[in-house]
Structure 1
Amino acid sequence: MKQFTILLFVVLCVAIGCSVGPKPIDYGHVGCHYCSMTIVDKQHAAQLVTEKGKVYNFDAIECMMNHLKDENEATIALFLVNDFEQPGELVDATMATYLISGNIPSPMGEYLSAFAQEGAAVKTMEKQDGELFTWVAMKKRFKF
């Protein structure tokens, strides 16, 4: 019985440890997987989660996009970006609307922000100028 209990404990630990889902970004303490810069900006950070549950954090959306050039997208379960309107809130990157505006700097200088709601992106663009993109258009822009 003791061996069964130990085996059950090990199986549960493995199952819980390999869960596929977003993980909170430890702002100010964790570094960007792509450029190693400490992640502090809650409006521009991004995250990838693999099918196996491994999490990659990025200080800027452009770092995530550059990382994806060399990544097999089929191994990625979740593509996440911070919602510019709700700092620190990760949203589905494939459904987000992107704004490149020279009036809104991002950590790596691409002036790239993401919005969970297209309407919020449009309103921000009307105030700040710039150009809107979809996920597909962003992938083309970053050439992958």
Structure 2
Amino acid sequence: MKNIKVIQTILFVIIMLPFNSCKVEAEKIVYGEDGCHFCSMTVVDKIHGAEMVTKKGKVFKFDAMECLINFSKEVNPEDVALYLTNHYNDPEELIDATKATFLISQDLPSPMGAFLTAFEDKKDADEVHKEKGGELYSWEELLIKLKPEYNNVSDIGDYKRPKLH
């Protein structure tokens, strides 16, 4: 009887292990230690970091949103669960990049030189835009701006993703 309980416990653990190992969630960026998956630079800027999380729970970290966007052409968009970015008003906090407002302004440098900064609220982006100048973009507009081959945007999931050619 004791052996049956042990076998049942082992089988339960073996069956449940795959379900517990694939959590789809953000992973805290360790600034000064984590490397950018695209350009291999160390992630140090707490305003401009980004992450991509696949539906299988694999996390890719980036030192800037432009690196995430450049890397995204190597990934099937249907395999991606989360696009995350740090933002101007609360550095180190990751927010849903697909809902963020982005500002490209020469007065706000970013690690890779695109002068790209994310904002959680459009109102905050508008205020900084008035002060610093530049251009505001939604997620979809940013993809088109930074990757000209993203010229056909289609619905996938709850947000728009580009069709990759």
Q: Specify if TM > 0.5.
A: yes
Shift of 1:126: 0.9
Give the one of 81, 85, 88 matched to 1:77.
81
Give the one of 8, 17, 21 matched to 1:4.
8
Name the residue aligned to 2:162.
Answer: none
Q: More relative contact order in 1 or in 2 (CA 8 Å, sep 6+)? A: 1
Shift of 1:15: 2.1
Distance 1:9 1:134 in 2: 44
Summarize the Cα distance change of 1:28–1:13 in structure 2 as closer, same or farther, 3 Å threshold. Answer: farther
Instruction: Write the mapping of 1:47-58 to structure 2, written as runs, cut at 5 A.
Output: 47-58=51-62
The sequence identity of aligned pairs, in percent, is 43
Paired positions, count: 144
The amino acid that maps onto 2:87 is D
Shift of 1:123: 0.5
Distance 2:15 2:62 in 1: 31
Larger Rg computed on CA atoms: 2
Give the one of 21, 43, 48 matched to 1:44.
48
Name the residue aligned to 1:106.
Answer: 110
* Equivalent position SS for 1:86: coil
C-alpha RMSD of the superposition: 1.1
TM-score (norm 1): 0.95
* Structure 2 residue ranges without an equivalent (≥5): 151-165
* Equivalent position SS for 1:87: coil
Distance 1:67 1:21 in 2: 19
* Structure 1 residue ranges without an equivalent (≥5): none
